[in-house]
Amino acid sequence: MPERVIPLADQRYAAAVPRIPESTPPPTGRVIDRLGRPLRDLRISVTDRCNFRCSYCMPKELFGKDYAFLPHSSLLSFEEITRLTRLFVAHGVGKIRLTGGEPLLRKNVEELVAQLSTLRTPEGKPLDLTLTTNGSLLARKAQALKDAGLARVTVSLDALDDMVFRRMNDVDFPVADVLRAIDRAMEVGLGPVKVNMVVKRGTNDHEIVRMARHFRGSGAVLRFIEYMDVGASNGWRMDEVLPSKEVIARLQAEFGLEPLQAQAVGETAQRWRYMDGAGEIGVISSVTQAFCRDCNRARLSTEGKLFLCLFATRGHDLRALLRGGCSDEQISAAIAPIWQQRDDRYSELRSALPREHDADAAAPKRVEMHYIGG
Ligand code: SF4
């Protein structure tokens, strides 16, 4: 099929330019994928580094102290991220989530937040700027992030017990410091803070009720995430997944809960509220109740590759276009057809996929979560 040629000022990047069928007219404005899903959310990984070693994302055995992270020169600069984001906004993006690795490890990340906070949707609205963090640096940075224009934060916390927490993230970091950071984030107005707990059967599921009891009435929204087969490194097994149905059953046994409506199309969490008014919780059930049909999320890796699914095996190199001297029009004309051709729905297909695929060294590997963010 004839392909559209994207003229590059700097041919060193030619090999990485996304292939776009000639027949796809360069669209402007909002774009819809092959399953009728509009592009709405952009998750931007600002670093592949992290100071935790969560077993479901960056197991220490594989990401040890000698692990070679990306050199700084290959990371997108704040200016490059902002330029690309502006082009995505023109195609319908209204919500940005900054992720990593651990995004607060990226030096002066609040400057990026400040740049992104100047962008407006075609209707003139500010972007919904959010960030997901492990909380280790949040207490120190919360005020600066808020002042720079960040709207909300999501903090990962997999247990209240320090031993269990350590078993999940393989570092010696006190839970108390993460709890202090959550309080600080709420103090400065980065709430309602969402707290994400990845539940691994046999490791931390006995902490579910205790976590709920701790955050009830706090104003924070606790979400329980089913353990997922992200990347190719976490040794995922189905028998370590605790279905959300069981999480809700355990909580129902302690507290009266009732389901709530979704707040937006494409929301990943199913919301439940405590019937005594003590707030709400959520469950994110990618394994047992896939939510691909409304998935409107694109992901930008820390070195400028566009991924269309958390479980993708390949990305589209937009950095090559940026550094290859392309104009905004040319880059925008490259982004749109990539989304339009999207038909990803991995979680819906997961159970039909042969697991041997994972053991097959020749098979394309799913991208690592620390590289594109959750
Ligand atoms: S599996 Fe992929 S397509 Fe489905 S919800 Fe997750 S990111 Fe979206």
311 CA distance to ligand 1 middle (Å): 7
- Ligand 1 atom nearest the C-alpha of 344 is 3
Q: What is the pLDDT of residue 22?
A: 54
pLDDT for 1 equals: 52
Kindly give the distance from the C-alpha atom of residue 3 to the centroid of ligand 1, in angstroms, as a whole number: 28
The chain-wide mean pLDDT, for the chain, equals 92
Split at pLDDT 50, 70, 90, the class of 20 is low
Span from the CA of 292 to the centroid of ligand 1 (angstroms): 5
Name the DSSP class of 75. Answer: S
User: Region 219-244: what's the mean pLDDT?
Assistant: 96
> Residue 18 — very low, low, confident or very high, per pLDDT cuts 50/70/90?
low
User: Are 30 and 92 within 8 A, CB to CB?
Assistant: yes
pLDDT of residue 17 exceeding 70, the answer is: no
pLDDT (0 to 100) of residue 361: 74
Q: Tell which residue, 102, 112, 105, has the closest CA to residue 77.
A: 112
Residue 9 in any domain: the answer is: no
- Cα 101 to averaged position of ligand 1 atoms, centre (Å): 19
Pocket test for ligand 1, best of 292, 343, 350 (most atoms within 8 A of CB): 292
Give the pLDDT band of residue 273 (cuts 50, 70, 90): very high
Residues touching ligand 1 (Cβ under 6 Å) are 286, 291-292, 295, 297, 309-311, 344-347
Give the tens place of pLDDT for each residue, 189-211. Answer: 998 999 999 999 999 999 999 99
Residue 47 tokens read as 């670093």
DSSP string, 96-155: EEEESS-GGGSTTHHHHHHHHTT-B-TTSPBPEEEEEE-STTHHHHHHHHHHHT--EEEE
Residue carrying the six token digits 């009732």: 258
First to last CA, the chain: 34
Q: Is residue 209 part of a domain?
A: yes
Which atom belonging to ligand 1 lies closest to the Cα atom of 345? Answer: 3
Cα–Cα distance between 92 and 32 in angstroms, integer? 9
Which residue's CA is minimally distant from atom 2 of ligand 1?
A: 309
pLDDT band for position 29 (cuts 50, 70, 90):
confident
Residue 352: per-residue pLDDT: 81
User: Do the domain assignments include residue 52?
Assistant: yes
pLDDT of residue 76: 98
The pLDDT of residue 244 is above 70: yes
Please report the atom of ligand 1 found closest to the CA of residue 268.
5
The pLDDT of residue 257 is above 60 = yes
Q: Is the pLDDT of residue 15 over 70?
A: no
**pLDDT at position 372 over 70:** yes
Query: Which atom in ligand 1 lies closest to the alpha carbon of residue 310?
Result: 7
φ, ψ of residue 170 to 5 degrees: the values are: 55, 25
As a whole number of angstroms, the distance between CA 38 and CA 31 comes to 6
Atom of ligand 1 nearest to the CA of 295: 8
Q: How many domains does the chain have?
A: 1
What integer pLDDT is reported at residue 360 of this predicted model? 74
Task: Please report whether residue 268 resides in a domain.
Answer: yes
- Report if residue 10 sits inside a domain: no
Condensed to tens digits (0 to 9), the pLDDT of residues 52-92 reads 999 999 999 999 989 999 999 999 999 999 999 999 999 99
* Strand ranges of the sheet holding 95-99, from the earlier edge strand across to the other edge: 257-259, 270-274, 280-284, 221-226, 194-199, 152-156, 128-133, 95-99, 41-45, 297-300, 305-307, 316-317
**Cα–Cα distance measured from residue 256 to residue 272, given in angstroms and rounded to the nearest whole number:** 10
In a domain, residue 330? The reply is yes
Provide the pLDDT for residue 11: 64
Over range 341-367, report the average pLDDT.
83
- Note the pLDDT of residue 24: 52
Within a domain: 336:
yes
User: Strand 257-259 relative to strand 221-226: parallel, antiparallel, unpaired?
Assistant: unpaired
What domain range is 47 assigned to? 15-372
Residue 212 lies in a domain: yes
Answer whether 149's CB lies under 8 Å from 130's CB. Answer: no
Q: CATH code at 225?
A: 3.20.20.70
Pocket test for ligand 1, best of 40, 268, 291, 295 (most atoms within 8 A of CB): 295
pLDDT tens digit string along 290-349?
999 999 999 999 999 999 999 999 999 999 999 999 999 999 999 999 999 999 999 999
| Ligand 1 centroid, distance to 308 Cα (angstroms) | 8
